[in-house]
Amino acid sequence: MLWFEMKKVFCKFKNRMAVVLLLIILAAVSMLTMNRVEYVGSDGSHVSGILGARSLRAEKNKWKGEVTQDVLEAVVRENDAINRSPDSKSDKIEELNKAYAKKQGFSDIAELINSAFSEWRDYDYFAIDNISAEEAKSVYERRVSNLKQYLGSGEEAFTDSEKDYLIKKYEDLQTPFYYEYSDGWSALLQNISTFILMLALVIGFLVAGIFSGEFQTKADAIFFSSRLGRNRAVLAKMGAGFLIATVFYVVFVLLYTFIVLLALGADGANCPIQFDMWRSLYNITFFQAYLLIVTGGYVGTLFAATLSMLASAVTRSTATAIIVPFVVLCAFPFLSRVITLPGICSFFPDQLLEVYITIKDWVLVGLGGKVVDVVNVLIPVYAAVCLLLAPVLYKVYRKAQVA
């Protein structure tokens, strides 16, 4: 039964076209992601993509290891030395590029220093040029002290328990950071949300006709009058929907991941996410962030697919069922931009596909007197909603009457 339900989906021309579209999207997003990594050669020329990544990796991995105080000090000294070179003092872009080429190897560590020595809501690109090697040693301490200073400034609206939670999270971050080339992971994470959104919409499209198809082809009378038409055959439809959602999600996310990491390099999985998101309160590595984003995306995709199937069963219209994932995943974020709905927006299902942004920002919720970050609430809550909607979907469909 399950096999035939899958066959029903994929023998439709429009669904096969949707799969082709998904492959095109995969190719396009992979290309865009690969081109995010740029390398500036010693002659000042730019190379992006696979070749750029290869050279950049070699350059950055010269600084591979723990970013200790000595390393921070060394980075400031090296930066100063390059700044004093004739290339850096030139007015010509080509010459400045040559100077930048020399800084690429430690640019991520330089960015940490810049972040630590910038105003809270600002980023000073030249902060590293204005501090001493000795001062650079305090990067990790400054991360916590800057936070405390900001929380004490009265510019924000956090409760005391939220402040305590943030400070604790910052203090818990393990230092010194482990560093190596991680641009592959960085590029992957920056574009993966867009890819997951498109994947979720296509999956919603694929599953939209599973339940309404019986009514639209007028095969409903035979389906529901058959022995298993009101029990196991309905479960087979649900199984096909969830299987399509899961297999497509896993396969396409893995394909995207493999393509990007194969091209740009998979090193840096164990580097802390703070290399990319200095203020993040998530004390996780790039790989853990990837897992969190992918898990959130999966639950979001499953939620949109479940709603699509429910709409398909209730309205008996495939068109309506196709619209549902668009509303859930695209209209909600639009709504949150045009209407001020503080707080509520953080709980919209589209946030599951925006875990990357949530990791970057601070979105806290109070739960039973405890403060937790929103991702840790959203993922289990929407997973539970999917589980609760499954029996509703089953009951709605099995009770269908055919007039």
- Contact footprint for another protein (CB under 8 A): 1, 4, 7-8, 11-12, 213-214, 217-233, 401-403
- Closest distance to another protein from the beta carbon of 10 (Å): 9
Of residues 10 and 125, the one with the C-beta less far from another protein: 10
- CA nearest neighbour of 114 among 127, 103, 104: 127
User: What is the rounded CA–CA span in Å between residue 229 and residue 223?
Assistant: 5
**Hey, what are 220's tokens?**
């409903």
Compute the least distance from the CB of residue 251 to another protein, in Å: 23
Query: Which tokens go with 361?
Result: 């920002």
If DSSP codes are grouped into helix, strand and coil, which group holds residue 177? coil
Q: 184 or 229, CB closer to another protein?
A: 229
**Shortest distance in whole angstroms from residue 395 CB to another protein:** 14
Distance CA 268, CA 129 (A): 26
Q: Which residue's CB is nearer to another protein, number 228 or number 251?
A: 228
By C-beta, is 213 or 265 nearer to another protein?
Answer: 213
The amino acid sitting at 10 is F
CA atoms within 13 A on the CB side of 248: 32
Q: At what angle do helices 49-60 and 183-207 cross, to 10 degrees?
A: 140
- Least distance from C-beta 392 to another protein, angstroms? 20
Hey, what amino acid is at 51? L
Total Cβ atoms within 10 A of residue 138: 16
Q: How many helices (H) and strands (E) does the chain have?
A: 19, 6
CB of 208 to another protein, least distance (A): 16
Shortest Cβ 211–another protein spacing (Å): 14
| CB closer to another protein out of 15 and 191 | 15
Q: Which one, 1 or 27, has the nearer CB to another protein?
A: 1
Taking the least distance from each CB to another protein, the nearer of 10 and 258 is 10
8 A C-beta contact, residue 208 and residue 312: yes
Local structure of residue 127 (DSSP, 8 states)? G
Q: Is 384 exposed, middle or buried (0-12, 13-18, 19+ CB in 10 A)?
A: exposed
Of 19 and 327, CB closest to another protein: 19
Q: Could you identify the residue written with the tokens 């200790």?
A: 68
Q: Return the ∠ at Cα 32 (arms to 26 and 35), rounded to 5°.
A: 135
CB-wise, 59 or 214, nearer to another protein? 214
Q: Which two tokens stand for residue 326?
A: 């668009």
Q: Tell the smallest beta-carbon distance from residue 286 to another protein (Å).
A: 44
Q: What would the two tokens of residue 134 be?
A: 């000795």
Give the whole-angstrom CA distance, residue 237 versus residue 132: 66
Distances (CA, A) of 109 to 79, 333, 360: 11, 34, 18
Nearer to another protein, 106 or 224 (CB): 224
Report strand pairing: 178-179 vs 370-373: unpaired
CB of 316 to another protein, least distance (A): 13
Phi, psi (degrees; rounded to nearest 5) at 366: -90, 130
Q: What is the smallest separation between the CB atom of 235 and another protein, expressed in angstroms?
A: 11
Q: How far is the CB of 222 from another protein (least distance, A)?
A: 6
Distance, CA of 39 to chain centre: 24
